[in-house]
Each structure stands twice: as C-alpha cells, then as structure tokens.
Structure 1
Amino acid sequence: MILPELTRLVRDRAGNFAITTALLMPVLLGTAGMAIDFTNALEKKTELQALVDAAALATASAMSDKDMTDAEAQAFAKRYFTSHADQVTAPPNETPEEKAAREAALLNGLTVGATTTNSSGNGQTFNVRMTMTYPLSLNGLSRALGFKTLQISVTGDSQSGREGNALSMYLALDESGSMKELTSTINPAQPTRQESYDCSTLFFYKTCTRTVNNYLSKMASLKAAAAGMFSQLKAVDPQSELIRIGAVSYNDTTKPEQTVKWGTASAASYVGNLPDVPAGGTDATGAMTNAFNALKKANPKEVTEHSKKNNTSFERFIVLMTDGEMTGNSNKWNSSIDTKVRNLCNQAKNDGINVYTIAFMAPSKGQSLLSSCATSADYYYQPNDMTALVKSFGDIARKAAKTGTRLTN
C-alpha cells in the first residue's frame, strides 16, 4: 500500500510552479539586491574618485605653496579626505559610535604617497598618489546570497611644480582714502570690537558702548593678500637668486618707492608699512611711470642683476592694483588721468612687460581702466572681498613663478 502511494505522489504534477518559485525566491531576491547594490557601488565609486582627486590636488598644491615635508603632506591629505568624506560616506541618522567606526574604516583603507623631487636650478616637482579602498555595506537582499560588503577602490594622482622662473616684478598699489573702507570679511584675529553710540535720554546725555563685528579694511586685506603672494614667491626662490621685486604706492600723489631688490623681504616690508588709515584721491600715473622705468628694456639694470645670478633670461611683470577710479585730488573721475594710465599700460605691454591688474571692489570706471591695462583677460582680476583678493594675488604668484597643479591619472 505504501509503495503505490509514494509512486503516485512522485508522479503528481500539481503545485510544481509554487514549489519551484519557493525554491528560487531567495536566488531571485538576492539577484535583485545585487543589481541595486551594483548601481549604488558605481555611484559611490564616482563620488569617492572625485573626493580622492580633490584631496590629491589640494595636497600637491599645499606642498608647493607651504614647503611641507613628505610626512606633513601625507597627514594633510588624510585630514582633507576625512573632513570631506561625510558627504559621500555618511548614512542618515548615524550614531556617534557608527561615525567613529566609519571614519576608522576610511583611514584604514586610505594610502597616501607624497614625494618631492628636485630638478635643475631651484625647480621642484611634488607628486601625490592616493588610493582608497572602501567596504560598501550591501542590502539585506544581497546578504541572502551570503554577501555582506563590496570593496570599492579608487586612485588619484596629482602633481605640482616649481619651475624656478627668473623674474622681475614691480607692484603699484593704491593707498587712497577709500582703502580705509571696510570689507565684508571679519578680522579672524579680533572678530569683535567695542563701538560707542549715543544712548541719551530725554533729560540726560549719555554715551554707551556695544560689541559689534570687527570687519577688515581694504588696506588690511591688501596687506594680507600681498603677504600671501610674497610667501609663495619666497617658497619658489628661498635663496633669492631668481626673483626681484620693487613696489610703490600712490593716492593722488606718488609715494617714495621701494626699488627693485632681490627676494621678497624689501617689498614685503614696504607693503606692510603702508598706512593703516590711508587718505587722498587716486592717480596711478606716477606709480605706473616708476614701474615702467624700472623694468623697461632700455634700462639695463635688471639684465645686469640677473646676469650676476646666471639667469640668462627672465620675465618682467607689473601688478597694478586700485579700489577706485582715477580722480586725482578730487572726488570725481578724471578722464585725462584715466587716459594717461591707459597709455602707460600700453607702453609697458608694447615693451614686452606683462601687466597684471586687480580692481578690488572698484567702481565701473576703475574696472574698465584695469581691464584695458591688463595684458589679457587672464591677467585681470576683479575681487569683491578679501578671500577673492588673496586668491588673486596667489594666482599671480603661481603664474609669474610658473608653478602649477594638475591631475596626472
């Protein structure tokens, strides 16, 4: 009796689809889960690649700008990466413990190589390679097949360099009365200050004080930005054998100049001693005349000085900066002065001098003048706050000294 019943059960085809579906369901769900995780992995890989590239670029640039050791560069790269990694790797509603574990996993999977290579003269090349391996957690459907994590690997290579470009530079800087005006940048060293105000009542006269934001003036911003440029140029030429710099300031008159000297120290001191509370109108003709006369081909001084250092060739640069328009000793635009400055700029450019211009929070006529004076659009800057001003001076330093940063992978 038993054997026939078993034989009939084996031959029975009823319910085969349900049984087959039940048997295959874990595999089907796991496959769907893997497809979702694969799409997510591609997205995370793209995001991590962008983050690694950004960190490598920032590190190579910092090595060039700040004279870092290789060990300091590696630490910088790790700090940069982890500080920006949350936007890519942090899940929603993460607990402090989960965050600590995730960041530990990030650092454990991050490898940084930073090297400095000396080339001919004072030239240097900085190479950074970053490799990131990150364990991406898989969803519950994928785990049904026994997979818990998927390893994502990305690599970023970046290179920056100092080519040791010999140059002579002359700064023509505005110290007119408008340079005492405040910017939108708060002084990081002293973010607040005490301000007096009239708090009199109907019967009593009284002066009170209150705490207000302490904004940097345009002049303070100029000094900080120029100091950053001098620091970058000094890093390129620590022995003062490639770079010569002079400077002059102006309002409606031309101030005593700092003649062109080797290195950055003399010009840095000159700019640092510009008046904290400047005054006067704006007339750059004398400053531009000084700059042109110092660097023009007809003046053999710079050729002679560079020859003493065996610099067979060098470039010449003028940096003209103003926050206003040409007014002379007045508060109205003066077309005659404006035209004279334009002519001096053209004279310098025709002589082969590269002219950088910076219109710092300047009105339209000032922007028009400096845009025309610049060698090309790449030589014209129009910063409207201190951060942009610092970036402008830094960019000029990198271009003049022919330093650069690029991805190489």
Structure 2
Amino acid sequence: MKHTLFARLAKDRAGNFGIMTAAMLPVLLAVGGVAVDLTQAMDQKNQLQALADGATLAAASAMAAKGTMTTAEAQKLGTDMYIAQKIEALKNSGLSAEALAAEEAKLRANTQTLVTSSGNSTTAASYEVRMKSSYDVPLSGLTSLLGFQTARVSVESVAASGREGNALSMYLALDESGSMADDTNTVNATAPTKPGWVYGPYQCGNKNSKTCEGWHTGEVPNYMTKMASLKAAAGVMFAELEKADSNHVLIRVGADSYDDQTKAQQSIQWGTSLVDSYVKKLPEPPSGGTDASGALTNALNALKNANATEKTAHDGKGNTNFDRYIVFMTDGEMTGNSGTWNSTIDAKVRDICLNAKSDGLTEAAKLKLKNGQQLTEEEMAKGIKIYTIAFMAPDRGKKLLNYCSSGPEYYYEPTNMTTLVESFGEIARKAAQTGTRLTN
C-alpha cells in the first residue's frame, strides 16, 4: 500500500511549474535589473564622455590661446573642469555634502590628465591633452541579487591644439573721425565718475537751508569713449600677435588712420611695437568727417602682389608663404567732410575693397567676387583677406563693411567696448591660425 502511494506521488508533475517559478523568480528579477542598470551605465558613460571632451578641448584651447601656460596648469584646468561638471550633475540627485565630497575624492583618484607640448610656443607649437577617467555607477537592488553593487565605466578623450606660426602681413585702417569721441555704454573702471550736470533735488538757499530741484553740478558716470575703446581693443590684438611671434620673424603690421582726410601712416614693420605706439597716439578727442578711401588705398598698395616689399621681407626670414590681411574699422558711414552720407565715397571704398580681395586670385575667383558670390577659403587664399569691424555703426556703415569683408566670418559688429575688444582679439588669433580639435 505504502509502496504504491509513494510511487504515484513520485510520478505526479502537477506542481512543478509553480515550484520552478518560485525558484527562478529571484534570478529573473536580477536579470531584468541587469538590463535596466546596463542602460543606465551606458547613459552615464555617454555623459562622462561629453564632460571629458569638453574639458580636454578647454585645456587645449587655453594652452594655444595663452601660449605661456604650463603643462601642469593645463592638467589642473582640465581635471578641475571635468570633475566640477560631474559633481554639479550629482548635486541634483540629492546626495549629502559628505557623499558629494566622497564622490569627488573617488573621481580625482580615478582621473588622469596628461598634457604634452612640442615646438616653440612663441612661433609654432602644438599641444595635446589626454584624459582617462573611470567611474563606479551604483546598481539597483535587483542587480545586487547577483552580487554586483556597482558597474565601472571608463572614458578617454584626447584634444589637440596648436599655434601654427602663420607668417602674415597685416595693415589696419582705423577711424579717427569726430564720432569716435562719443561715449560707449562701458564705465571707466579706473575712474567711474566725473563732475557733470545732474537733475534732481539738491541743497540750496542761504547756507543750504532748503531743498531745491533742478539742474546742478554733481558726479555723473564716466563712460569710455569709442576712441579709448579702440585703443584698448587694438592693444589686445597686438598682445595676441606678440604671443604668436615674440621673436618677430613671422608677423608684420602697419596702420593708417583717417577722418575726412588720410593721416600719415605707420609703414608695415616686424612686430607690433611701432603700430602699437601709432594707435596710442590717435587724437583724443578726435574730430572731422569720414573717408576711408585713402587709408584703404595705402593698405592695398602696401600689400598688393605688385609691391615686392612684403615678399622680400618674408623671404629674408625664410617664410616661403605668407598671408595678407586688411583690418578695416569704422563707427560711421562715409560722409567726407560733411555730416551726410556720400554715395561717391561709399562706392569708391567698395571698389578698393574689391580690388584688394581680388589681388592674386584666379580669373574665375575674381569673376565670382565681381558677381557678388562668396568665395571658399581655398579660393580666397591667395588674395588679400579683409576683416571689417562696424563699431556701433549706422546701417549704411554696416552695409559697407559687410560688402568689404571677405565673408561672414570676417565681419564683426560690436556694440560695446567689451565686444570690440573680443573682436580684435579673435581676429588676431584667427590670423595667427591658432586651432583646437578633438582627436579621439
């Protein structure tokens, strides 16, 4: 009887599915957790990669822009930026200050930034910033059933930059007309106020015995003039060019200023000291109308291929090739010695700009320019490239400088002192060909 009962029980399979399900349930849940955690880990890896790329690019750019930054400074900059961005992201997850500090310590321990440089930082140099970092992504409770508490993700980023030592000759055509005496909206940091007339209440009467209201002497904001802003911006440009060529074997610069008359020019010379002194001596306050045709003609004559002076000078330094640039700046429209726009002068300036941009180009490229078509960088490479700066200029001034520029990337329209300074600095860096790129 017992034997028969046990035999029947052994053959019964009715509850096997329930038993197997109960036994496998933790494993199934853990596998599901693994899938979720793997997706989260990949998201974290992508985020870290973006942070690392941004940090290495910033460090490489800083080395190329500054020129004198040490590898240790660049390494610290890259690491600090990478970690700061990650910690900022973790703040939104509700971690305590102690937990955030622990995460930062682990990140620093698991992040290595290596910076290398080659060449001469004053002429031609290249920089590489390489970063490797690992981070432990916490896993969910389901995955921990399999015995895993964290998943380590690793990223690597490499960015390169360079000061390419570009040989060039540059000529500045700068506005010193009467409107350059106007104020900008930037307060002079060294002397923020000055005596002037203000409207409002003031103490009046015998021994200031009562309060009156009206115009009276007082302190008013001391704004930087356009001319003072130009001098500061040009100084930044010259400093950038000096960084690129402190040995004065690559870069030659000259300048001419104008109102309604063309002023005595500073001929193109090696380095920036002479042209810097020239700009610093521009009159304050300036006066006169606006006619850039003479200064631009001097720029074209100095740089054109028919004048062998620049080629001879660069050949003497071993520069087999060099770029030619005009920097044309105005805050107004072409008026001559009047107060109204002069279409004849405007047209004359446009012709000079067209001749400059065409100098040295192929016939096909010249025809494209004449027809108002934009050239590629390759097509315009052999011509004179023109950067234009319309500083707080009216519409006719903007249209003229837009036409004269070698393209959208060569046209600037600053509206205050800060953006004027930025424009001059960027032009210098572009001309000196400082570049940064990701290489990973």
Q: If the TM-score is normalised by the length of the shorter chain, which range does it land in? A: 0.7 to 0.9
Q: Is the 8 A contact 1:26 1:145 kept in 2?
A: no
Please give the residue correspondences for 1:6-405 in structure 2 after superposition, counting only pairs within 5 Å: 19-67=19-67, 68-118=69-119, 122-181=123-182, 183=184, 189=189, 193=193, 197-200=198-201, 204-205=212-213, 207=216, 217-275=225-283, 277-351=285-359, 352-386=383-417, 388-405=419-436
Shift in CA distance, 379/199, structure 1 to aligned 2, threshold 3 Å: closer
Q: Is the 8 A contact 2:240 2:425 kept in 1?
A: yes
1:137 & 1:146 partners in 2: Cα distance? 13
2:391 & 2:9 partners in 1: Cα distance? 92
Gaps of 5+ in 2: 203-209, 360-382
**TM-score, normalising length from structure 1?**
0.85
Q: Is the 8 A contact 1:191 1:215 kept in 2?
A: no
SS at match of 2:423: helix
Shift in CA distance, 270/100, structure 1 to aligned 2, threshold 3 Å: farther
Task: Tell me the CA shift for residue 81 of structure 1.
Answer: 2.2
1:97 & 1:193 partners in 2: Cα distance? 47
SS at match of 1:271: helix
SS at match of 1:349: helix
Larger Rg: 2
1:25 & 1:14 partners in 2: Cα distance? 19
**Larger displacement relative to structure 2 (376-385 or 365-374):** 376-385
Report the equivalent of 2:377.
none
Q: Is the 8 A contact 2:53 2:158 kept in 1?
A: yes
Gaps of 5+ in 1: none
Moved over 6 A (4+): 1-15
1:196 & 1:3 partners in 2: Cα distance? 119
1:276 & 1:137 partners in 2: Cα distance? 65
2:299 & 2:394 partners in 1: Cα distance? 24
1:370 & 1:89 partners in 2: Cα distance? 48
Q: Which amino acid aligns with 1:41?
A: A
Q: Percent identity?
A: 51
SS at match of 1:319: strand
1:389 & 1:395 partners in 2: Cα distance? 10
Shift in CA distance, 332/91, structure 1 to aligned 2, threshold 3 Å: same
Task: Tell me the CA shift for residue 119 of structure 1.
Answer: 7.5
2:100 & 2:228 partners in 1: Cα distance? 41
1:279 & 1:104 partners in 2: Cα distance? 61
2:405 & 2:65 partners in 1: Cα distance? 25
Q: Deviations over 1:238-272 (max 9, x none)?
A: 10011111122333333333221211222233334
2:173 & 2:411 partners in 1: Cα distance? 14
**Which of these residues, 387, 406, 409, is aligned with residue 437 of structure 2?**
406
**TM-score, normalising length from structure 2?**
0.80
Q: Is the 8 A contact 1:240 1:263 kept in 2?
A: yes
Task: Tell me the CA shift for residue 90 of structure 1.
Answer: 3.7
SS at match of 1:200: strand
Shift in CA distance, 403/145, structure 1 to aligned 2, threshold 3 Å: same
2:79 & 2:168 partners in 1: Cα distance? 35
1:209 & 1:112 partners in 2: Cα distance? 56
Q: Which amino acid aligns with 1:258?
A: Q
Task: Tell me the CA shift for residue 162 of structure 1.
Answer: 2.3
Shift in CA distance, 58/227, structure 1 to aligned 2, threshold 3 Å: farther
Q: Is the 8 A contact 1:109 1:134 kept in 2?
A: yes
Q: Deviations over 1:150-169 (max 9, x none)?
A: 21211111111222222110
